[in-house]
Chain A
Amino acid sequence: MSEERKLIPERYEGLSIFRPPLCYELTGKKYELVMDDGVDRILEFISRERLRFGAPEDLRDYEYDCLKMDDQCYFVNFEARPFTSPRLGITLVLDTRECLVTACFASLGRDPKFPRMPAADLVFGAIRRPDGSLPPKRHSYTADLAGKSIDWNYGSFNIAHVYQTERYYRVAFTPRALQRIMKNNSAMMGGERREAPKEAYEDYMDAVKIRDGLYAVSLLETNLCRRNGHGNNLFFLMNLKEMHDVGRSFGTNGEGEDENYTFGAFGAWFDAKEVMEMPGMYYIH
């Protein structure tokens, strides 16, 4: 009888093992981003590894990751390295078919009480077309996800995001996810504690509709930060026609080190009725 062998994957940063291949389609392309915060910006993909971004009088070069989630729709992530203080992470959802852009500006180090408190601002805008025109519409905040939940498999970890309302999310774990956590790290389950929590963890969320079936979602871990001293901003581009997403984690890791990395996940709709009906820990609803 042949010996059973197990495949062992490479080690990747954080939750990034399922990150899909980097996309180099934008190499050599240059765009003028007309943003609704009043600051127009140039975005130029100088090479497969480096881009140039900023207001025309303040252009800077960055290393970047670009991931493709739909036809002519890209997730582009970058930040100055070495990390600055305070930090500013920039992530763009570029829709070059519709000439629209949503930017997520994430920051760390601005909160005087909690130095590792993440914040994120979304700014909508348009990409100037070759003929000089701009589309009149923008990506928009959406209630499409409210009341729904998706279990995301990041490879090393499963977690269900419960899109509780338009502005708040909760987290849940499927029975399979709990089994994996118990198997890999029983400390995460509170050691010997066996009781399920009676209140749900809840925090801020922004959900933006990019196209039919395509959403950008920003999740903040502000309450985790108040509790543990650190929390992140997770920003995702989710393709719910194909049930997978890409995203990035901006903040600090469990060892307190700065992190900003991209990842991917496979999703499955999850019935989170129990978690949705729990009282929330932090907010009056």
Chain B
Amino acid sequence: MNDFTSLITAGGEKKPYGMILSDELNEAFAGLPAVKCTDSVFLLVKNSGVFLYDENAPEPGLVDSGALPESADLSGFTTELSFAPDCILPAKFDAEALTVGETRFPVSVRKAAEKLYAVLSKSGSFLILLDASRFLLYAFAENKFLCGYLEV
């Protein structure tokens, strides 16, 4: 368990909300675990890396999450997030980090699509796809897909 997964699960006491794998991309990307995050965007795992696939992109293909354009849109935002039942934590973005509870995680924030952001931990311990239109969260940490939400 790393610092992030320990924090969002109250030290491992709470089982996180899990995700169901999608079979929609089985033909195009056989054997790659994938989850669906919006009606057209997926997260896939390939060779231990996490990639995005956007059906609506001008040239759809696997995009390395680290290659997405950087964004400052979330800097200054405060919210509460939850990845597990009964574990709701304050969260705040600044220019270089995401602070969850009392723990500061250096991150880079990248824009995946309109109102959709990839939050990449600089230590590589997690990736969060933040859907700012529905306040839904999709994370990949410790080789598992998790989902969660922001308090509306």
* Distance in angstroms between the alpha carbons of A153 and B86 in the assembled complex: 11
A183 to chain B, nearest CB (A): 11
B 3-17 to A, binary, CB cutoff 8 A, 1 in contact else 0: 000000000000101
- State which residues 34-91 of B face A: CB under 8 Å: 36-39, 74-79, 82, 85-86
- Indicate whether A21 reaches chain B with its CB closer than 8 angstroms: yes
A 62-73 to B, binary, CB cutoff 8 A, 1 in contact else 0: 000000111100
* Distance in angstroms between the alpha carbons of A5 and B132 in the assembled complex: 13
User: Are A155 and B135 in touch, CB under 8 angstroms?
Assistant: yes
The list of the 8 closest CB pairs from A to B, nearest first, reads A268-B85, A242-B18, A10-B133, A5-B76, A21-B36, A155-B152, A2-B76, A9-B135
Given contacts A21-B38, A25-B22, contact A2 B132 (CB under 8 A): no
Binding site for A on B (CB under 8 A): 15, 17-24, 36-39, 74-79, 82, 85-86, 92, 94-95, 115, 132-136, 147-150, 152
* Distance in angstroms between the alpha carbons of A68 and B24 in the assembled complex: 11
* Distance in angstroms between the alpha carbons of A12 and B36 in the assembled complex: 19
* Distance in angstroms between the alpha carbons of A90 and B86 in the assembled complex: 34
- Indicate whether A17 reaches chain B with its CB closer than 8 angstroms: yes
Binding site for B on A (CB under 8 A): 2-7, 9-10, 12, 17-25, 68-71, 153, 155-156, 239, 241-244, 266-269
Interface of chain A, helix or strand or loop or mixed?
loop
User: Are A242 and B152 in touch, CB under 8 angstroms?
Assistant: no
Given contacts A12-B134, A266-B85, A269-B85, contact A68 B20 (CB under 8 A): yes
* Distance in angstroms between the alpha carbons of A5 and B77 in the assembled complex: 4
Chain A residues with CB under 8 Å of B147's CB are 244
Chain A residues with CB under 8 Å of B95's CB are 2
User: Are A17 and B135 in touch, CB under 8 angstroms?
Assistant: yes
Chain A residues with CB under 8 Å of B78's CB are 4-6
Our pick among B38, B79, B94, B148 for the contact of A7 (Cβ within 8 Å) is B79
Chain A residues with CB under 8 Å of B79's CB are 6-7
Chain B residues with CB under 8 Å of A21's CB are 36-39
* Distance in angstroms between the alpha carbons of A243 and B15 in the assembled complex: 9
* Distance in angstroms between the alpha carbons of A23 and B86 in the assembled complex: 28
User: Are A20 and B86 in touch, CB under 8 angstroms?
Assistant: no
Interface centre among B82, B94, B133 (most CB of A within 10 A): B133
* Distance in angstroms between the alpha carbons of A189 and B150 in the assembled complex: 24
6 A-B pairs in the complex with CB atoms less than 8 angstroms apart:
A2-B75, A3-B76, A5-B77, A18-B136, A153-B149, A243-B17
Given contacts A21-B36, A21-B37, contact A242 B19 (CB under 8 A): yes
Chain A residues with CB under 8 Å of B22's CB are 23, 25, 68
* Distance in angstroms between the alpha carbons of A267 and B149 in the assembled complex: 12
User: Are A9 and B20 in touch, CB under 8 angstroms?
Assistant: no
User: Are A22 and B134 in touch, CB under 8 angstroms?
Assistant: no
* Distance in angstroms between the alpha carbons of A242 and B38 in the assembled complex: 19
Chain B residues with CB under 8 Å of A242's CB are 17-20
Given contacts A153-B149, A242-B17, contact A4 B134 (CB under 8 A): no
> Which A residue's beta carbon lies closest to that of B79?
A7
> Which B residue's beta carbon lies closest to that of A70?
B20
* Distance in angstroms between the alpha carbons of A12 and B133 in the assembled complex: 9
